[in-house]
């Protein structure tokens, strides 16, 4: 295999002709087609990943319903009998059995039921050209047409419709843009502040049709849907207050491209596809010009009422076939030109677009100077040498080379070659003189390559010629012409000894010293371009199918190359960088691929010399002067703003100082009042803490009692659970013993069966081998007899053939001699006739060529005369402008002298003002420092105030609580006072009965019953310390016992699991052995069948010679001894059936035994039952 590996790093391109060509993978990653791949692209991080895909043909009118998991079609239906084009097919997002199809006069809803697709709707009214549709809900579908109408269908019935009209926006910049040159350029198109253009009104049928915008794309989102409304416009519709209607909420436009040759028409691109991100934060669209645009929905919501504009997803890309591609040595740049009339400069290290410019004519060829500062571009009318400025591609020199299809700078950059038809012009890159014109090709020159030393130039053309030119004298050093091949590309080895050429004959030709050394086949694919690395070890080729092939040198004869799917069209250009690190390819699909080149071990190829890339750029003097002038103006503006800001700061400082004084006074007063409040609250707080401690003590006692009750209950439960566990353990041991016995018996049965089978099949094999040997001996004897008879027949036939040959050879000699005489005479006559005819044709062709040359020269003379007249006019105009400019310069010099005088006076005044300003500036600095200190103090005061406010709020809450408690206590006190009064009155009455002891005793008893029993009694329970210690000791003992029991349970559970796993593994091994035995049975069956077939063939062979030759008694003896093969096979099959039944009975018994076991986590493998 090839040792060279190319990995795709980045692609600049997009395929707009793919249906539904953009979708969101997640919120930040999108997927879109480019080349022959699908690209995953991260919007913010800018990385790409590639998904290779295969291309298919255009869609047919058949609708196929697939189940992709099982990879089979569930149903197929013919959508349209007339084969009208279909534009879109989609599933219902909520119901995958429902499908919607739209096309030319087609809007059909299908439902998959009972194995078929059935249509569920029927259109009423005139059919429309339905271009797009989207599902809004499970039953609602919104559909767009080519006449700007939008229909809303609910369950196939029309519920709502509206029509879109083209909106014209008049731009104020139209007049300015009309005066500007069409060759506008930017470094990169700005995302923000896009210009809005006017649409030129033309009274034609096309313009009238344009007022009916095509709704070519629709996408649904949570608020409604988005749809295209003609070229460059997308409308957002939201749900209206009506029952089933929608209203237009926003208009979004594609911005004008100011680097286009016609900015007014740059935004006229048809929208192909619309996609919303999963969170509906971004809106993405693709257009017919292969461009991708992005819009942030949050920004669109912010700017409601205004027309929103899309931004480029990354940068503008080519929209047509790329015709030229080249790299340089000093910078990581790639230059490309395309049939879209643009020239672009890319950076392959940063994967960015550096410069971009469009022209009036198509660009056919391009070459980048080795320094990366100049570019040579071939247009239809002339060849242009242009400077690559910091933000512009500016034409420096024009050359009168029309229709230049190929151009190339030399390796050193001091020369360049330009192709005009079949002539190669060599120009100097410094003096711009035409040094040499290389003429020799009869057809168009297709490729030109310079050698590393710039002494040689290799060219190839459609005439099948490959020429090596010496640029010292302009002569051909070597040539290789093959008229049957039309060459497409040519390359040269670093030592300039070997030339590689590819063309239409499906091979790579290795040419050296005017001879083709080798032709390497391309295996039925035409190579369109070839490039050789600077080390000479790698060869890369592009094919007409869009693939890239990498191979090592010397070139392999067999298929020893790596082929990569890259482009969706034929490869047009390829280039490898100077350090052999990157390969760049372009094709007719408008895509540019950047490939990283590795060796076979996956390492990047090292540079021969580590030279850093240059950062220098070109800039014109006028641009520099303009920028310096702008900088000076901005500096003066900044100084003015500084003065204004300082004055405003002073005013603010004065105001702030006054406010600070007022605030400080207020804060001091508030602080004093808060201090007094704080002291009061502290006293209240101490009282409340004492009460809180008493409550906590009571709660702890209650908790201790509850804990004691819970522990006693849990101990009883634990004892019950432990008894259950012991019973289960005994059961598991019994089960384990039973299973071990069963397994031992199964192993013994299995071993016996295996021994019997092996003995039986070994005996069988010995019998079959003896039979085979006998059959082989018979076949050998038959072959010998057949060869002997064959030899005798061949000898007889050879003798007869020789006799016949001798007769006919004599006749042939006589006839040949007579034919030779006649041929000689006719040949002489033909030569004379041909020579005369050639002379006539040459004279006619010379006359025609002279006429053509005369016409060409006359045309050139006329064109040159026109150019001379135009140049004379330009000279006169320039002389007049020079005189005007000289007058203006003289006036400006006078003004300059006066301004210098004013400047001297102003400088003196400025110095004096600076002297006055310095002490004030010092004062300002001091004041600023004071302000900063005051601000710091203010912040401290703020913090203290906030803290104090929090404290006040807490204290207020505490005050409220204390007030409530105080009221309760006062109420209690009042109740107690009333009770004491009553008690005193009763006592007073009781004292009056002192002399009557019985009544006194009864009254005291009544008082006791009245006051002592009703009073609140608080029982104080004293806890004995010895009891408490005994309780804690018992508790610790029980906890230790519980921990040990838990450990035992865990260990026994692990042992139990290990036993179950071991039993399962043994069962698995047994089932595997059974499966292996079944496989051996199958193998033996196949062997038996093979032996039967061989025996049958031998029987047939025996019968055939028995019919032709005389039968001998010795040959029939082995057949009499043989058994009947049919009976033998039936006996073997019966034995195997009995064995299978026995094994199945054993398996059923095992399964019953296993069913008794508890279910385990793992599953046994399936038995291979026949």
Instruction: Express each pLDDT in 280-321 by its tens digit.
Output: 899 999 999 999 999 988 766 656 667 788 999 888 999 999
pLDDT at 882 over 70: yes
- Please tell me the predicted confidence (pLDDT) of residue 186: 32
DSSP-derived secondary structure for 418-444: EEETTEEEEEETTT--EEEEEE--SS-
Greater confidence (275 vs 1048) lies with 275
Question: Who's near 759: CB < 8 A, 6+ residues apart?
Answer: none
Mean pLDDT of 548-559: 85
pLDDT at 197 over 50: no
pLDDT at 661 over 50: yes
Identify the top-confidence range among 302-306, 384-388, 561-565, 775-779. Answer: 384-388
Residue 177's pLDDT band, with cuts at 50, 70 and 90, is very low
Q: Per the structure block, which two tokens stand in for 989?
A: 């009455």
> Across all residues in the chain, what is the average pLDDT?
82
pLDDT at 922 over 60: yes
Peptide bond into 554 cis (omega under 30): yes
Cβ atoms < 10 Å from Cβ of 190: 13
d(CA 970, CA 990): 30
pLDDT at 398 over 90: yes
Q: Per the structure block, which two tokens stand in for 255?
A: 């911005």
Q: Per the structure block, which two tokens stand in for 1167?
A: 């038995």
d(CA 741, CA 819): 105
d(CA 13, CA 588): 11
Q: What percent of the chain has pLDDT over 70?
A: 88
pLDDT at 896 over 70: yes
pLDDT at 474 over 90: no
Contact 456, 470 (CB under 8 A): yes
d(CA 959, CA 963): 6
d(CA 346, CA 288): 22
- Please tell me the predicted confidence (pLDDT) of residue 532: 93
Q: What is the pLDDT of residues 603-655, one digit of tens each?
A: 555 555 567 888 888 888 888 888 899 999 999 999 999 998 988 888 888 88
HSE at residue 332, side-chain half, CA atoms within 13 A, is 15
Contact 952, 677 (CB under 8 A): yes
Q: What is the pLDDT of residues 497-547, one digit of tens each?
A: 999 999 998 899 999 988 888 899 888 899 999 999 988 889 999 999 999
Identify the top-confidence range among 485-489, 759-763, 1056-1060. Answer: 485-489
d(CA 680, CA 221): 64
Cβ atoms < 10 Å from Cβ of 837: 10
- Please tell me the predicted confidence (pLDDT) of residue 34: 92
Contact 582, 576 (CB under 8 A): yes
d(CA 1003, CA 997): 10
Q: What is the pLDDT of residues 344-361, one digit of tens each?
A: 999 999 999 999 999 989
Place of tokens 């790329």: 322
Greater confidence (765 vs 144) lies with 144
Q: Which residues pair with 426 in a beta bridge?
A: 417, 436
Place of tokens 């629709």: 218
- Please tell me the predicted confidence (pLDDT) of residue 263: 72
Q: How far is CA 612 from CA 332, 374, 388, 607, 609, in A?
A: 10, 19, 20, 11, 10
Q: Per the structure block, which two tokens stand in for 227?
A: 């749809």
d(CA 492, CA 616): 31
Q: Which of 549-553, 600-604, 768-772 has the lowest mean pLDDT?
A: 600-604
Q: What percent of the chain has pLDDT over 90?
A: 25
Burial of 413 (0-12, 13-18, 19+ CB in 10 A): buried
Residue 799's pLDDT band, with cuts at 50, 70 and 90, is confident
- Please tell me the predicted confidence (pLDDT) of residue 1020: 39
- Please tell me the predicted confidence (pLDDT) of residue 419: 95
Identify the top-confidence range among 1-10, 129-138, 161-170, 1085-1094. Answer: 129-138
Greater confidence (504 vs 3) lies with 504
pLDDT at 235 over 50: yes
- Please tell me the predicted confidence (pLDDT) of residue 721: 81
- Please tell me the predicted confidence (pLDDT) of residue 305: 62
Mean pLDDT of 837-861: 86
The secondary structure of the chain in percent helix, strand, coil, rounded to multiples of 5, reads 45, 25, 30
Tell how strand 5-12 and strand 23-24 pair up: unpaired
Q: What is the dihedral of CA 122, 127, 128, 130, to 10 degrees?
A: 30
- Please tell me the predicted confidence (pLDDT) of residue 1103: 55
Mean pLDDT of 683-699: 85
pLDDT at 763 over 70: yes
- Helices vs. strands in the chain: H and E counts, helices first: 9, 52
pLDDT at 456 over 80: yes
Contact 1120, 1102 (CB under 8 A): no
d(CA 260, CA 258): 5
Residue 933's pLDDT band, with cuts at 50, 70 and 90, is confident
Residue 1024's pLDDT band, with cuts at 50, 70 and 90, is low
Q: Which of 265-279, 391-405, 820-834 has the lowest mean pLDDT?
A: 820-834
Greater confidence (346 vs 53) lies with 346
d(CA 856, CA 173): 46
Find the helix or strand (DSSP H, E) in which 987 lies. Answer: helix 621-991
Greater confidence (1121 vs 374) lies with 374
- What three-state secondary structure class fits 1134? helix
Tell how strand 308-309 and strand 246-253 pair up: parallel
Tell me which residue of 243, 304, 229 sits closest to 271, measured CA to CA.
Answer: 229
Mean pLDDT of 965-988: 87
Contact 588, 572 (CB under 8 A): yes
pLDDT at 55 over 50: yes
- Please tell me the predicted confidence (pLDDT) of residue 292: 92
Contact 162, 144 (CB under 8 A): no
pLDDT at 126 over 90: no
């Amino acid at each position: 295999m090839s040792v060279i590996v190319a990995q795709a790093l980045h692609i600049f391109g997009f395929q707009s002709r793919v249906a539904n060509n953009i979708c969101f993978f997640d919120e930040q990653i999108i997927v879109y087609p480019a080349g022959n791949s699908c690209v995953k692209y991260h919007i913010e991080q800018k990385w790409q990943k590639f998904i290779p895909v295969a291309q298919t043909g255009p869609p047919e009118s058949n609708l196929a319903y697939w189940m992709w998991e099982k990879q089979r079609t569930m149903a197929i239906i013919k959508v349209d009998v007339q084969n009208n084009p279909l534009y879109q097919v989609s599933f219902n997002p909520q119901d995958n059995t429902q499908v919607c199809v739209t096309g030319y006069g087609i809007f059909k809803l299908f439902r998959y039921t009972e194995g078929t697709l059935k249509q569920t709707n029927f259109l009423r009214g005139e059919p429309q050209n339905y271009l797009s549709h989207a599902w809004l809900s499970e039953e609602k579908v919104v559909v767009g047409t080519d006449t700007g109408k939008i229909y809303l269908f609910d369950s196939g019935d029309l519920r709502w419709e509206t029509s879109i009209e083209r909106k014209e926006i008049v731009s104020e910049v139209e007049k300015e843009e009309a005066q500007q040159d069409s060759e506008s350029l930017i470094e990169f198109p700005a995302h923000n502040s896009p210009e809005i253009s006017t649409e030129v009104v033309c009274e034609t049928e096309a313009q009238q049709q344009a007022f009916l915008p095509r709704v070519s794309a629709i996408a649904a989102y949570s608020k409604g849907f988005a749809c295209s409304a003609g070229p460059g416009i997308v409308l957002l519709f939201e749900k209206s207050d009506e029952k089933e209607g929608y209203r237009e909420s926003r208009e979004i436009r594609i911005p004008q491209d100011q680097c286009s040759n016609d900015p007014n028409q740059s935004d006229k691109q048809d929208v192909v596809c619309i996609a919303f991100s999963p969170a509906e934060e971004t809106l993405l669209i693709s257009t017919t010009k292969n461009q991708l645009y992005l819009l942030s929905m949050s920004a669109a919501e912010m700017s409601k009422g205004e027309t929103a504009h899309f931004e480029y997803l990354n940068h503008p890309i080519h929209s047509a076939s790329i015709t030229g591609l080249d790299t340089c040595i000093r910078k990581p740049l790639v230059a490309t030109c395309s049939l879209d009339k643009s020239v672009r400069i890319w950076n392959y290290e940063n994967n960015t677009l550096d410069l971009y410019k469009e022209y009036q004519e198509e660009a056919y060829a391009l070459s980048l100077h080795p320094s990366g500062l100049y570019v040579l571009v071939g247009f239809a009318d002339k060849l242009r040498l242009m400077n690559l400025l910091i933000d512009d591609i500016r034409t420096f020199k024009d050359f009168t080379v029309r229709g230049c299809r190929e151009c190339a700078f030399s390796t050193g950059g001091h020369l360049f070659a330009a192709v005009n038809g079949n002539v190669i012009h060599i120009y100097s890159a410094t003096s711009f003189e035409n040094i040499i014109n290389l003429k020799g090709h009869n057809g168009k020159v297709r490729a030109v390559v310079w050698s590393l030393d710039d002494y040689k130039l290799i060219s190839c053309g459609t005439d099948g010629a490959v020429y090596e030119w010496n640029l010292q004298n302009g002569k051909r050093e070597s040539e290789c012409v093959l008229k049957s091949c039309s060459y497409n590309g040519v390359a040269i080895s670093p030592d300039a000894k070997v030339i590689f050429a590819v063309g239409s004959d499906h091979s790579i030709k290795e040419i050296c010293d005017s001879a083709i050394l080798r032709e390497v086949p391309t295996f039925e694919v035409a190579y369109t371009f070839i490039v050789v690395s600077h080390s000479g070890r790698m060869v890369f080729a592009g094919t007409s199918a869009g693939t890239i092939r990498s191979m090592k040198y010397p070139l392999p004869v067999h298929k020893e190359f790596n082929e990569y799917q890259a482009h969706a069209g034929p490869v047009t250009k390829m280039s490898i960088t100077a350090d052999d690190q990157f390969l760049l390819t372009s094709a007719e699909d408008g895509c540019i691929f950047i490939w990283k080149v590795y060796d076979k071990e996956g390492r990047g190829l090292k540079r021969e010399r580590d030279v850093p890339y240059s950062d220098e750029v070109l800039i014109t003097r006028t641009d520099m002067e303009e920028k310096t002038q702008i900088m000076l103006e901005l500096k003066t503006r900044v100084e003015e703003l500084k003065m204004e800001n300082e004055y405003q700061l002073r005013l603010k400082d004065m105001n702030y100082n006054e406010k600070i004084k007022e605030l400080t006074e207020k804060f001091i007063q508030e602080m004093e009042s808060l201090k007094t409040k704080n002291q009061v609250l502290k006293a209240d707080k101490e009282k409340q803490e004492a009460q809180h401690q008493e409550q906590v003590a009571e709660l702890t006692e209650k908790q201790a009692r509850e804990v004691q009750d819970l522990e006693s209950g849990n101990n009883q439960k634990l004892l019950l659970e432990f008894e259950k566990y012991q019973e289960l353990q005994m059961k598991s041991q019994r089960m384990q013993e039973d299973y071990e016995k069963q397994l031992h018996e199964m192993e013994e049965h299995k071993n016996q069966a295996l021994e019997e089978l092996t003995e039986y099949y070994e005996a069988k094999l010995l019998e079959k081998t003896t039979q085979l040997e006998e059959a082989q001996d018979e076949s050998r004897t038959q072959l010998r007899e057949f060869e002997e008879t064959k030899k005798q027949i061949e000898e007889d036939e050879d003798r007869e053939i020789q006799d016949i040959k001798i007769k006919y050879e004599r006749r042939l000699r006589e006839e040949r001699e007579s034919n030779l005489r006649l041929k000689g005479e006719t040949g002489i006559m033909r030569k004379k006739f041909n020579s005369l005819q050639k002379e006539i044709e040459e004279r006619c062709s010379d006359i025609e060529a002279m006429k053509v040359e005369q016409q060409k020269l006359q045309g050139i003379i006329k064109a040159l005369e026109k150019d001379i007249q135009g140049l004379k006019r330009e000279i006169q105009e320039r002389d007049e402008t020079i005189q005007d400019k000289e007058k203006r310069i003289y006036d400006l010099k006078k003004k300059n002298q006066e301004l210098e005088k004013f400047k001297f006076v102003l400088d003196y005044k400025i110095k004096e003002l600076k002297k006055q300003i310095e002490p004030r500036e010092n004062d300002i600095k001091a004041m600023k420092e004071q302000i900063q200190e005051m601000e710091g103090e203010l912040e401290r005061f703020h913090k203290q105030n906030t803290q104090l406010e929090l404290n006040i709020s807490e204290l207020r809450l505490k005050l409220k609580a204390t007030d409530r408690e105080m009221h309760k206590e006062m109420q209690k006190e009042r109740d107690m006072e009333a009770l004491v009064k009553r008690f005193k009155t009763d006592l007073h009455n009781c004292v009056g009965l002192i002399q009557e002891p019985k009544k006194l005793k009864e009254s005291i008893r009544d008082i006791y019953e009245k006051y002592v029993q009703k009073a609140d009694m608080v029982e104080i329970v004293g806890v004995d310390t010895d009891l408490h210690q005994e309780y804690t000791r018992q508790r610790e003992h029980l906890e230790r016992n519980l921990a040990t029991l838990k450990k035992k349970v865990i260990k026994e559970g692990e042992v139990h699991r290990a036993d179950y796993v071991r039993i399962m593994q043994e069962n698995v091994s047994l089932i595997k052995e059974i499966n292996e035995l079944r496989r051996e049975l199958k193998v033996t069956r196949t062997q038996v069948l093979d032996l039967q077939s061989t025996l049958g063939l031998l029987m047939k062979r025996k019968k055939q010679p028995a019919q032709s030759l005389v039968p001998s008694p010795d040959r029939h003896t082995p057949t009499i001894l043989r058994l009947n093969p049919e009976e033998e096979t039936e006996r073997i099959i019966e034995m195997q059936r009995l064995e299978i039944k026995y094994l199945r009975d054993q398996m059923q018994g095992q399964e019953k035994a296993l069913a008794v076991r508890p279910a385990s986590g793992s599953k046994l493998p399936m038995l291979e039952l026949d």
